Amino acid sequence: MPKYPLIRITPPGPNALKIIEKDQIYLMHSFTRWYPLVVKSGDGFLVEDVDGNIYLDFNSGIAVMNVGHRHPAVISAIERQIKKLLHYSITDFIYRETSDLAEKLVKITPGNFKKKVFFGNSGAEAIEASIKISRGFFKNKRPYIISFIGGFHGRTIGSLSLTASKPIHRKFFSPLMPNVIHIPYPYCYRCPFKQEYPSCNYWCIDFIEEWVFEKYVDPEEISSIFFEPILGEGGYIVPPPKIWKKLERLAKKYDILLVADEIQTGIGRTGRWFASEHWNIKPDIIAVAKAIASGLPLGVVIGRKEVMSLSRGSHASTFGGNPISCAAANAVIDIISKERLLENASRMGEYMIKRLKEYSEKFNMIGDVRGKGLMIGVELVKDRKNKVPASKELSIILQELFRNGVLAIGGGVSTIRFAPPLIITKEAIDKALEIVGKVFSKVLRK
């Protein structure tokens, strides 16, 4: 493995600048970028740019490359499949790769009950399908859906209607899909109800019953509750223990479907196959994407057999369940099992959180360190007492890390998101955190 990180020329270098110029001319920039990284290749937990700089990847391609870049077993599975079949639309015909993958997913998702699977191309498609599945199950007699403020579920009109992470996501696009009720996410560090855990006794869940159900919408009209077990784009926010168990009990009380958006938290990211397992809950529907196919487009919905009951012809996807993507996904699940990456994610995550909490004792602008497995957030504040977000400092830190060979991104208002591949080593973490410490010393007040 090459020396890492290795910054030969301060990025962006001359080769990167040429590509950036073309990018500016030809691409619609309806997205945001934290820094001008121009990627040439990836290898394991390393990324090389077009000027020969080598970075420690603590993004994983936005929580996608869980088994690392170009894992040999993934490459082999793709190569074998390419030689056999590129496409033949699973919604109209049949091939083996989808049923093999569906069988594996049914086994690793929470819940010892019969399940069915639907394949799409992305996380947003998985959410769109989940919306239709949950409404279709009740024959649209329950037209309302509950979602959480702070959650991110995608940018297509249906998924965007559930998203409530940043105003810019929704600005200019109203009216969105009607009948979505947004409630505050259990964000204990910044409790929207100004309460303290555990004395709050999970008021944010009681609020649903006492205020939404009793004063706004009859629960018999609500089909589903969509939630992220841990907020992703919203800032890697980890809710308190028992919170989702209480939500599960509430949903069962009123026969409401519980839909877990595990697009960023799933496929081993938190040290379990799915983050829902940390709270010992069994969602009726689980939406999966990102890491499932190691960078190839694939979105999946796994749900209770009786719930996955849309009428024939009511939902389909031409490219969903593409055989190449499914071959890669089959390999990803096998790799995580054989290489014990769930265990590594838990072990390395605990170590990394411990190290980052040591930094929080040194720097007063670190307000909170949280995470499960290798899904870790460091929230920056101007003042620990008032918790004023340090958004400017977040941007500076991410750019400084980039210039020094560590790739991370932001989340929420002022949180650093660390999400290295599950194959990350202690040596790599130590090297990254050494750089993180130096950047903190440069940017943050002690």
- Which DSSP string corresponds to 384-404? TTTT-B-HHHHHHHHHHHHHT
Residue 76: other Cβ atoms inside 10 A: 12
75-338 CATH pick, 3.40.640.10, 3.40.50.10090, 3.40.50.720, 3.40.50.2300? 3.40.640.10
Residue ranges in the chain modelled with pLDDT below 70: 1-2
What is the pTM for the complete model shown?
Answer: 0.97
- Identify the CATH homologous superfamily for domain 14-57+340-443: Aspartate Aminotransferase, domain 1 (3.90.1150.10)
What is the structure's pLDDT at 2?
Answer: 65
Report the pLDDT value the prediction gives residue 3, as an integer from 0 to 100. 82
Residue range(s) of every CATH 3.90.1150.10 domain in the chain: 14-57+340-443
Q: Rg of the chain over CA atoms, in angstroms?
A: 22
CB count within 10 Å of CB 160 equals 21
Helix locations, 55-189, DSSP H: 60-63, 72-82, 96-108, 123-137, 157-162, 167-170
* Residue found by looking up tokens 């307000």 in the block: 367
**Residue intervals in the chain for CATH 3.40.640.10:** 75-338
What distance in Å separates the CA atoms of residue 360 and residue 342, rounded to the nearest whole number? Answer: 27
The answer for residues whose C-beta is within 8 angstroms of residue 280's C-beta and 6 or more apart is 245
